[in-house]
Amino acid sequence: MKDFKNFQHLKVNEKNFVLEITLNRPEKKNAIGSIMLDELMKCTRYANKNNLIRAVVYRATGNIFCSGLDLYDFKESNDSISLSEIFNQLHKPKLAVVEGDAYGGGVLLILCCNYVVSKSNIKLCLPEVDRGLFPFQVLDALIKVMPAKKALDWCLRGSSVSALDCLEMNVIDEINDIDLEENISNWVRTITKKSPNAIVSGLKSFQNIYVDKKIIGKLNDELHKLKKSDDFIEGIKSFREKRKPRW
């Protein structure tokens, strides 16, 4: 795909049945803005159409895996594409390699993957409630892997959770500080040996069972309402001024 070379916020490499996508905006802590959203969706469409791609691996440059949605871009954006939609529509096995902390939308990216490998020193955080927002899409993804009450509590508290706790909560599948690359290779090797048609069919069926577009639509409606609230205005202002919000 020639477009890969023109991407601004992603590095994409296709090799041995694997599409490796690297978030490449380290100067902004790999924040997901409208440009990155568009590039991620292009990758999803390309992978779905290309029968030679049997697995997708997500990585990141820099010491932060992803700081979530770009709040400077997000405030004015009315993009119809949601972050969860990009990954839910990708019917190829997805692996997230987490070597840095993740926040908000970055946690959603991780949750949308079928397998997650991380370093032991990383943390996942949901800071939306400190910005006048709520992690609606993250909550929807969390309740698919852990008890709903615990998922809601994490979203309400907006706290940071260690890799070990994430492992116990079923958010992370494996922690590896010694031979991470071997871990990745083993997962890829296992996946690419299986029937690609059977896997695609299984992932599509899983989406039909567990991904409710009506619910996601309602959650996005609530998010748009919050974007017009005084709390969000104050949350963004305090974020830019590097101070605590005054609700």
Q: Rg of the Cα trace of the chain?
A: 17
Rounded CA gap, 108 and 90, in Å?
14
Check residue 200 and give its pLDDT. Answer: 97
Closest CA to 171 of 213, 219, 217, 126: 126
Q: Residues 48-87: pLDDT tens digits?
A: 999 999 999 999 999 999 999 997 776 555 555 678 889 9
Contact predicate 40/4, CB 8 Å: no
> What domains are defined for the chain?
2-179+192-240 (3.90.226.10)
Q: Residues 18-44: pLDDT tens digits?
A: 999 999 999 999 999 999 999 999 999
Rounded CA gap, 70 and 183, in Å?
31
Is the pLDDT assigned to residue 113 strictly greater than 80? yes
15 sits in which H/E element: strand 10-15
Pair of tokens at residue 2? 């020639």
Across the beta sheet with 101-103, the strand order is 64-66, 101-103, 123-125, 160-162
Q: What's the whole-number mean pLDDT along residues 146-151?
A: 96
Give this prediction's pTM: 0.93
Is the pLDDT assigned to residue 1 strictly greater than 70? no
Check residue 30 and give its pLDDT. Answer: 98
Check residue 75 and give its pLDDT. Answer: 53
How crowded is the C-beta side of 86, counted as CA atoms within 13 Å? 24
Is the pLDDT assigned to residue 159 strictly greater than 70? yes
183-195 burial: b if 16+ Cβ within 10 Å, else e: bbeebbeebbeee
